[in-house]
Amino acid sequence: MPELPEVETTRRGLAPHVEGRTVTGVTLRRPNLRWPIPAEVRELLPGQKIDAIRRRAKYLLLDTQAGSALLHLGMSGSLRVLPATTAVKTHDHVDIVFGTGPHQGNASNSQRVLRFTDPRRFGCLLWQPPGETHELLRDLGPEPLSDALDGDYLFALSRGRKAPVKTFLMDQRVVVGVGNIYAAEALFEAGISPLRAAGKVSRERYALLAAAVKRILAYAIERGGTTLRDFIKPDGEPGYFELELLAYGRGGEPCPRCGRPLKQAAIGQRATVWCGHCQK
């Protein structure tokens, strides 16, 4: 499943090819993805200029004066900007069509589409009216790279919580976008056992954890930037980075710090790897 850095990489890759362009049509090859696609997407989006493409948590928003198209890539979704003549494949469910006109590159006058491909159909395409916040976004916590996330915030919110700190960190109402991979890596860097109750972690250790989350996510986004060209290649999938993981997916292997075998268990039905010696 695309995590926050992959979604941010998608946003950055698409922005130069989408922002400022006018939508001339929307092609829906099915009425629904995870949920029904609202009529506003087809009725209000055509004729609108894309003012910006934003990210909130793992959602992307295409902002226009009439409202915002709200997209989530789900488990298998991808977005690419392609020539309108590109052959449609089985799982190409949505095309947002842009008119011709001045734009970047040698193909500036060719008609392009923003194509949403989603084999498993766990993604979504919804609509947010201007001045409103979609119900999927209302209860989300702060962005992990914002100043709102720090040790004091995590410490205050965690008091009295008996759930494992890894579960706490992955709660989107606490902070958005810290998925399974990044939670495992941040806890390893901070030296905190994922099994420890969230309410039993000290303020000082939460400061280390918040810093680890920020560093790891920022680095992952930076690495993702090397593959932005893939978002306009008709014959290739977006090429997400491969992060050098120290803990996630390495159960039973030697700990990079102490050499002892890394432990593995399921926490909240998610595979979790940690070092029983280095993480307390």
249 vs 251: CA distance, rounded Å: 6
d(C-alpha 129, C-alpha 125), whole Å: 14
- Catalytic residue check, 40: no
Residues of 221-242 as b/e, b for ≥16 C-beta within 10 angstroms? bebbeebbebbbeeeeebbbbe
Contact between 243 and 220 under an 8 Å Cβ cutoff? The reply is: yes
Q: In the annotation, is 42 catalytic? A: no
Report CA-CA distances (Å) from 58 to 11, 19, 27, 69, 152: 10, 19, 24, 14, 24
Q: Judging by beta carbons within 10 Å of its beta carbon (0-12, 13-18, 19+), is residue 81 exposed, middle or buried?
A: buried
Please identify which of the residues 2, 144, 164, 194 carries the catalytic annotation: 2
Question: Where are any strands of DSSP class E within the chain?
Answer: 23-28, 52-56, 59-64, 67-72, 78-83, 92-98, 112-117, 124-128, 263-267, 270-274
Q: Of residues 55, 58, 115, 250, which has the active-site annotation?
A: 58
| DSSP SS3 for 92 | strand
**E-assigned strand segments in 99-171:** 112-117, 124-128
128, amino acid identity: Q
Contacts of 187 (CB under 8 A, 6+ apart): 165, 166, 169, 193, 194, 209, 212, 247, 274, 279
Has 34 been annotated as catalytic? no
237 labelled catalytic: no
Type of residue found at 29: R
From residue 39, alpha-carbon distances to 44, 47, 67 in Å are: 8, 15, 13
Catalogue the active-site residues: 2-3, 58, 270
